[in-house]
Structure 1
Amino acid sequence: MASRVAVSDSFKHFEFDTTLKLLSSSSSLNSVPSKFHFTNERSAFPSDSLPIIDFSALVARDNPPQRSKAVHDLATACRDWGFFILVNHSVPESLMEAMFKAVKEFFSLADSEKKQYEAKSASDPIKCGNFNVANTSNQSFTLWRDYLKLYVHPTFHCPHKPQLLRDMVQEYTQITRKLALELIEAVCEALELNQRYVDEILKMESSFQMFATNYYPRCPQPDQAIGLPPHTDPGLFTFLIHNGVAGLQIEHDGKWFNADSPQNSILVNAADQLEIFTNGKCKSVKHRAVVNEEKDRISIVVANGPSGEAVIGPAAALVEKDGRAKYYAMKYEEYVESQLTKSRVDGKSILEQQMIFSTY
Structure 2
Amino acid sequence: MASLTLSSPSSVKELSDSITLPTIPQIFVSRIPEAPRDFEPIVEEEIPAIDFDLLVNGAPDERSQVVRELGKACEDWGFFMVVNHGVPAKLRDSMMDAFKDLFGLTAEEKGEYLGRQVLDPIRIGTSFNSQVEDVMYWRDYVKIFVHPVFHSPNKPPKFREISKEYTACTRVVGMELLKGIWNSLGLDDSQMGEALNLDSCFQILASNLYPPCPQPELAMGLPSHSDHGLLTILYQNGVNGLQVKHKGNWVHVKPLPDSYLVNTGDHMEIVSNGRYRSVLHRAVVSGESTRMSIVSLLGPNLDAVVEPSPHLVSIDRPLAYRGIKYGDFMEQQQSSKLKDKSVLDLLRLHVN
Match for residue 224 of structure 2? 230
Structure 1 residue aligned with 2:62, among 57, 60, 66?
66
Q: 5 Å matches for 1:73-92?
A: 73-92=69-88
Structure 2 residue aligned with 1:199, among 193, 206, 213?
193
Query: Structure 1 residue 355 and structure 2 residue 348: aligned?
Result: yes
Amino acid at match of 1:301: V
Contact conserved, 1:51 with 1:84, CA < 8 A, in 2?
Answer: yes
Amino acid at match of 1:120: R
In 1, distance between residues paired with 2:92 and 2:175? 20
Cα shift readout 1:36-68 (whole Å, capped 9, x = no counterpart):
11225356534432101110111125x111111
Match for residue 246 of structure 1? 240
- Structure 1 gaps, min length 5: 1-11
Q: 1:249 to 1:42 in 2, by over 3 A?
A: farther
Post-superposition offset of 1:27: 5.7
Contact conserved, 2:129 with 2:335, CA < 8 A, in 1?
Answer: no
Query: Structure 1 residue 143 and structure 2 residue 140: aligned?
Result: no
In 2, distance between residues paired with 1:273 and 1:30? 41
* Number of residue pairs matched by the alignment: 343
Post-superposition offset of 1:240: 0.6
Contact conserved, 2:113 with 2:122, CA < 8 A, in 1?
Answer: yes
In 2, distance between residues paired with 1:98 and 1:65? 36
Contact conserved, 1:126 with 1:150, CA < 8 A, in 2?
Answer: yes
Amino acid at match of 1:50: I
Q: 1:132 to 1:77 in 2, by over 3 A?
A: closer
Post-superposition offset of 1:298: 0.6
In 2, distance between residues paired with 1:26 and 1:342? 30
- State the secondary structure of the residue aligned to 1:25: helix
Query: Structure 1 residue 33 and structure 2 residue 25: aligned?
Result: yes
Post-superposition offset of 1:338: 1.1
In 2, distance between residues paired with 1:196 and 1:299? 32
In 1, distance between residues paired with 2:147 and 2:225? 23
Post-superposition offset of 1:152: 0.7
Contact conserved, 1:106 with 1:162, CA < 8 A, in 2?
Answer: yes
- State the secondary structure of the residue aligned to 2:72: helix
- State the secondary structure of the residue aligned to 2:256: coil
Match for residue 156 of structure 1? 150
Cα shift readout 1:275-309 (whole Å, capped 9, x = no counterpart):
11011111201100010011011111111001111
Cα shift readout 1:214-268 (whole Å, capped 9, x = no counterpart):
1100011101111111100011110111110001101111111111112211000
Match for residue 116 of structure 1? 112
Match for residue 56 of structure 1? 53
In 2, distance between residues paired with 1:111 and 1:286? 32
Relative contact order, CA 8 A, sep 6+: which one is greater?
Answer: 1
Amino acid at match of 2:80: F
Normalised to the residue count of structure 2, the TM-score between the two structures is 0.91
Contact conserved, 1:314 with 1:327, CA < 8 A, in 2?
Answer: yes
Contact conserved, 1:132 with 1:140, CA < 8 A, in 2?
Answer: no
In 1, distance between residues paired with 2:318 and 2:4? 39
Normalised to the residue count of structure 1, the TM-score between the two structures is 0.89
Post-superposition offset of 1:35: 2.0
Amino acid at match of 1:60: N
In 2, distance between residues paired with 1:313 and 1:47? 35
Q: 1:358 to 1:146 in 2, by over 3 A?
A: closer
Provide the alpha-carbon RMSD of the alignment.
2.3
Match for residue 309 of structure 1? 303
Contact conserved, 2:267 with 2:299, CA < 8 A, in 1?
Answer: yes
Q: 1:281 to 1:13 in 2, by over 3 A?
A: farther
Post-superposition offset of 1:139: 7.2
In 2, distance between residues paired with 1:303 and 1:323? 28
Query: Structure 1 residue 18 and structure 2 residue 10: aligned?
Result: yes
User: Which shows bigger deviation, 328-337 or 44-53?
Assistant: 44-53
Match for residue 101 of structure 2? 105
Amino acid at match of 1:19: S
Match for residue 35 of structure 2? none
User: Which shows bigger deviation, 84-93 or 349-358?
Assistant: 349-358
Cα shift readout 1:122-148 (whole Å, capped 9, x = no counterpart):
2111111213668xxx97122111111
